[in-house]
């Protein structure tokens, strides 16, 4: 993947956006112009590992079909009532029915597929990264390397190139890689 930056366009864009952001002008004055990360409560934020796990599981619902803010709010409520679901060593042992019921109650949307991803991604995180999403970022030197680790591999050729440990996570594509890096 090659990224070309046209600096004059970046400068032009930032020169237009930054003053609007500082003055809370459109689009930053819209009621839905909330950065979801800013609503995460202190009890999740105060521990790096807890926050990393929270973001890891949020990625399961960043595939589309749901507003980010809606997903964040639902998952925050879910974390407050079921924090062990956000602990990979515990979540990997849950049944599909248990996870699906909780996801359906708090989010509703896509609970069947999300439950599969929740359990399988927990297993992969434990198996390959000692159950810690922060380990996914250790030693990274490029975005391509991050994609190699985190993005789901669907073809045998991709698996061979990436290696067993870098099998990625079900449903995780480039957007989720970028979210976890952020």
Q: At what angle do helices 96-106 and 111-129 cross, to 10 degrees?
A: 120
Task: Among 48-62, 63-77, 138-152, 165-179, name the most confident range.
Answer: 48-62
pLDDT of 161? 73
pLDDT at 56: 95
Q: Which residue has the higher pLDDT, 63 or 120?
A: 120
The mean pLDDT of 50-75, rounded to a whole number, is 87
Query: What is the pLDDT at residue 18?
Result: 74
* pLDDT given for residue 10 in this prediction: 66
Contact 34, 71 (CB under 8 A): no
Tell me the pLDDT tens digit for each residue of 81-138.
999 999 999 999 999 999 999 999 998 878 899 999 999 999 999 999 999 999 999 9
Euclidean distance between the first and final Cα of the chain, in Å? 19
CB of 105 closer than 8 Å to CB of 85 = no
Mean pLDDT estimate for the chain: 86
pLDDT at 159 over 70: no
64 phi-psi bin (left φ>0, alpha ψ -120 to 50, beta other)? left
Lowest mean pLDDT among 27-36, 105-114, 145-154: 27-36
**Residue 5 — very low, low, confident or very high, per pLDDT cuts 50/70/90?**
low
Reported as a pLDDT band with limits 50, 70 and 90, residue 70 is confident
């Amino acid at each position: 993947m090659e990224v070309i930056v046209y600096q004059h366009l970046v400068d032009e864009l930032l020169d237009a956006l930054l003053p609007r952001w500082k003055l809370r002008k459109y689009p930053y004055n819209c009621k839905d112009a909330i950065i979801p990360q800013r609503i995460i409560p202190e009890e999740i934020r105060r521990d790096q590992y807890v926050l990393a796990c929270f973001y890891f599981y949020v990625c399961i619902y960043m595939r589309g079909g749901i507003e980010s803010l809606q997903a964040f709010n639902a998952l925050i409520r879910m974390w407050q009532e079921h924090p062990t679901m956000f602990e990979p060593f515990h979540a990997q042992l849950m049944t599909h029915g248990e996870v699906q019921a909780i996801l359906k109650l708090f989010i509703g949307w896509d609970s069947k597929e999300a439950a599969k991803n929740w359990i399988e991604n927990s297993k992969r995180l434990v198996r390959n990264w000692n159950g810690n999403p922060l380990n996914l970022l250790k030693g990274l030197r490029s975005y391509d390397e991050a994609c190699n680790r985190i993005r789901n591999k669907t073809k045998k050729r991709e698996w061979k190139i990436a290696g067993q440990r870098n099998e990625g996570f079900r449903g995780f594509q480039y957007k989720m890689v970028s979210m976890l890096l952020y």
